[in-house]
Copies of this chain bind each other. A is one copy, B any other.
Amino acid sequence: MTNPRADRVREVARLAQRSARARRRQFLAEGPQAVREALRLDADRRDRGAAAVVDDVYASAEFLARHPEIADLAERTGRLRLADDAVLAAMADTVSPQGIVAVCRLLDVSLEEVLAPGPSLVAVMCRVQDPGNAGTILRAADSAGADAVVLTAGSVDVYNPKAVRSTAGSLFHVPVVLGQDPSVLAERLRAAGVGILAADGTGPLDLDELQDASAARRSRVGGAAPDVPEASAGYRLEEPTAWLFGNEAQGLSDEEKELADHRVAVPLYGAAESLNVGTAATVCLYASARSQRRSAPAG
């Protein structure tokens, strides 16, 4: 493909718009990392006879020569087309396109699908607006081994090109649930045995206290019934947990906070007034992951 004004090129470029993505149930992955992860998931699904993820791949000959593993995966889809740099630039959202784009099918799943196997760790974004923050939180959730990421109604579209880029491929690793009503979500999480913690800088519980209480229980496994330090309010960080993270400007609303079992603050040791939501989410999710994994039976 050499004509950047071709209809097909325009159609791909239009996936930068939320309305086009919603109508066609497709979005765009750009660059080697995102496209490779999309292709890996696609290959994995095809092997299992499940629905495809990647509908089309466009790449330059030069890119494919430089990335044989991605070229091989792309070939296997049967949907790879060569495109020159002008075409790729017209398709992509980034100023400097990186030689490959893939048109992918929307990946989000239902809340039921995520809750059925009994998740241990869930990240919930409540009206997070910045695509970079949403992508960073999704990537941190993947890194911490979260079982799912949920976005409430009114959040940024996770298929926004900047959000997709910020996930660095994690969008293709972690199941994502979109458009949830917070109170229905809280009810369902609880029914599935998942506790709910609100990340809230003004919360009465301190994340370090929760971690200490968890560590104290760990060090007494097989011994006497563990003391639960009062500061943890009885919440066990090692148990299945969904964390609520709020809007970057306003934080969690009062209504959102009330849905949680507890409001937990990440301690601020310096003079900073607050953490950004991506940073707070990282600390909270890693604290849970650490408590859960260190408490699990070895092996």
The interface bits of chain A over 114-154 (1 if a CB of B lies within 8 angstroms of the residue's CB, else 0) are 00000000000000000010001001111111100000000
A60 interface contact, C-beta 8 A: no
A146-B270, A269-B145, A283-B283 known; A140-B290 Cβ under 8 A: no
Interface with B: A1-9, A21-29, A80-88, A166-174, which one?
Answer: A166-174
Smallest CB-CB separation from A41: which chain B residue?
B271
Q: Which of A207-230 contact B (CB under 8 A)?
A: 208, 211-212, 215, 219
A279 interface contact, C-beta 8 A: yes
A109 interface contact, C-beta 8 A: no
Smallest CB-CB separation from A279: which chain B residue?
B282
What's the minimum C-beta distance from A135 to chain B, rounded to whole angstroms? 9
A269 to B283, Cβ gap below 8 A?
A: no
Q: Across the interface, which residues of B come within 8 angstroms of A168, CB to CB?
A: 272-274, 276
Q: Which of A241-299 contact B (CB under 8 A)?
A: 266, 268-276, 278-279, 282-283, 286, 289-290, 293-294
Q: In the complex, which range does the number of interface residues on chain A fall in?
A: 35 or more
Q: Across the interface, which residues of B come within 8 angstroms of A208, CB to CB?
A: 290, 293-294
Which A residues are closer than 8 A to B by beta carbons?
Answer: 33, 132, 136, 139-146, 168-170, 173-174, 208, 211-212, 215, 219, 266, 268-276, 278-279, 282-283, 286, 289-290, 293-294
A270 to B136, Cβ gap below 8 A?
A: no
B173 to A143, Cβ gap below 8 A?
A: no
Given A142-B270, A144-B269, 14 extra CB contacts under 8 A: A132-B132, A136-B278, A139-B279, A142-B272, A143-B266, A143-B268, A143-B269, A143-B270, A144-B270, A170-B270, A174-B270, A269-B293, A283-B283, A283-B286
Between A and B, 13 residue pairs with Cβ closer than 8 Å are A139-B272, A139-B279, A140-B279, A143-B268, A143-B270, A169-B272, A173-B270, A173-B271, A173-B272, A208-B294, A269-B289, A279-B282, A283-B286
User: How far apart are the CA atoms of A283 and B132 in the complex, in Å?
Assistant: 19
Q: Across the interface, which residues of B come within 8 angstroms of A215, CB to CB?
A: 215
Q: Across the interface, which residues of B come within 8 angstroms of A293, CB to CB?
A: 208, 269
- Name the contact of A219 in the complex, choosing from B169, B219, B279 (C-beta under 8 A): B219
User: How far apart are the CA atoms of A168 and B293 in the complex, in Å?
Assistant: 34
Smallest CB-CB separation from A208: which chain B residue?
B290
Q: Across the interface, which residues of B come within 8 angstroms of A132, CB to CB?
A: 132
User: How far apart are the CA atoms of A208 and B293 in the complex, in Å?
Assistant: 10
Q: Across the interface, which residues of B come within 8 angstroms of A286, CB to CB?
A: 266, 283
User: How far apart are the CA atoms of A271 and B147 in the complex, in Å?
Assistant: 11
A212 to B294, Cβ gap below 8 A?
A: yes
A169-B272, A219-B219 known; A211-B140 Cβ under 8 A: no
